[in-house]
Amino acid sequence: MAPHASAARRPKPELTPELIDDASPTPLYHQIYSVLRERIRTGHYPAGSLLPGEQELVKLLGVSRITVKRALSELAAGGFVTRHRGRGTTVTFDAAAPVVKGSFENLVDSLRLMGLGTEVELLEVATVRAPADIVDLLGLEAGARVQRAVRLRKIEAKPFSYLITHVPGDIAARFPARDLAHKPMLEMIARAGHEAVEAEQWITAAAADLKVARALGIASGAPLLEIRRVMRDREGRGVEALHGFYRPDRFQHHMKLARRRRGGRTEWL
């Protein structure tokens, strides 16, 4: 059976003016972008298929051509489609491709599994003086040396994260820098005698700068999930500081919370 044959047989999703709201504070182009993105992500428009043309979308949705062009440009910036003059708008996002899922409840174990189940391309590695923010995160003395590495993590040869890590110099000296290209960072740190058992992290949204965008195969300014994380060993020492950028269409971060009584009060755990 040809790839995406089952998706290709699905009835085309209806596009009507009722899908957008002129009274909404959300711009019309972004509403159209959201509608088309959802249909792409759910496989209604499979990878390799063509979206309706600009003129057809204008008629179907009852909006201006400028609005449609802006919506399609946003899809291209997010890596969902490519646009070619005379050939239309082609879907490049593969809804059938695997999505990496990280679990906050078992963060350390999830990171180890991620390291074993994905591919890594080492882009840069050097020993540098720790920047002020890394000094604070890792609890180092001012002027301390750290190993700075930049890696691109992939699944099925498709990049989904751009990672910048800093590891204290004395720990990094215990494993060859070349191993960063094919061994999980946490495994190497553990073998150096500093197994990571605790993590603290911050998650926010960011726009891809040109360097990160090129590495991840997306347009500059495309939305990304930005994660900053510090890993600590059993003595509470910071052993790795990470600054990562993740494609939201290829990475999900899962959290499960429950309300429980602790010390006479109710907390979210």
pLDDT tens, position by position, 148-198: 999 998 877 888 889 999 999 999 999 999 999 888 888 899 999 999 888
Nearest to 240 by CA among 112, 104, 64: 112
Least confident among 10-19, 86-95, 133-142: 10-19
H/E stretch holding 201: strand 198-207
Decide if 169 contacts 144 (C-beta within 8 A). Answer: yes
At 193 the pLDDT is 94
At 132 the pLDDT is 92
Residue 63 in tokens: 């909006």
pLDDT, tens digit (0-9, with 9 covering 90-100), for 243-255: 999 888 776 666 5
Q: How many CB atoms lie within 10 A of CB 67?
A: 20
For residues 14 and 161, what is the distance between their CA atoms, to the nearest angstrom? 34
Decide if 244 contacts 149 (C-beta within 8 A). Answer: no
For residues 215 and 168, what is the distance between their CA atoms, to the nearest angstrom? 26
Residue 206 in tokens: 């960011």
At 2 the pLDDT is 44
For residues 10 and 199, what is the distance between their CA atoms, to the nearest angstrom? 44
- Give the pLDDT band (50/70/90) at residue 135: very high
Domains 5-91 and 100-254 share a fold: no
For residues 161 and 118, what is the distance between their CA atoms, to the nearest angstrom? 11
Q: How many residues does the chain have?
A: 269
Pairing of β 100-103 and β 251-254: parallel
At 10 the pLDDT is 42
For residues 245 and 111, what is the distance between their CA atoms, to the nearest angstrom? 15
pLDDT, tens digit (0-9, with 9 covering 90-100), for 205-256: 888 898 998 999 887 888 888 989 999 999 999 999 999 998 887 766 665 6
Who's near 25: CB < 8 A, 6+ residues apart?
none
5-91 topology per CATH: Arc Repressor Mutant, subunit A (1.10.10)
Highest mean pLDDT among 11-15, 72-76, 108-112 belongs to 72-76
Domain ranges of the chain: 5-91, 100-254
Residue 219 in tokens: 């347009």
Residue 104 carries which DSSP code?
S
Q: Is the pLDDT of residue 5 over 80?
A: no
Please state, rounded to an integer, the average pLDDT across all residues of the chain: 82
For residues 113 and 121, what is the distance between their CA atoms, to the nearest angstrom? 17
DSSP 32-101: HHHHHHHHHHTTSS-TTPBPPPHHHHHHHHT--HHHHHHHHHHHHHTTSEEEETTTEEEE---TTS--EE
At 166 the pLDDT is 97
CATH architecture of 100-254: 3-Layer(aba) Sandwich (3.40)
For residues 131 and 160, what is the distance between their CA atoms, to the nearest angstrom? 26
Its pTM surpasses 0.85:
no
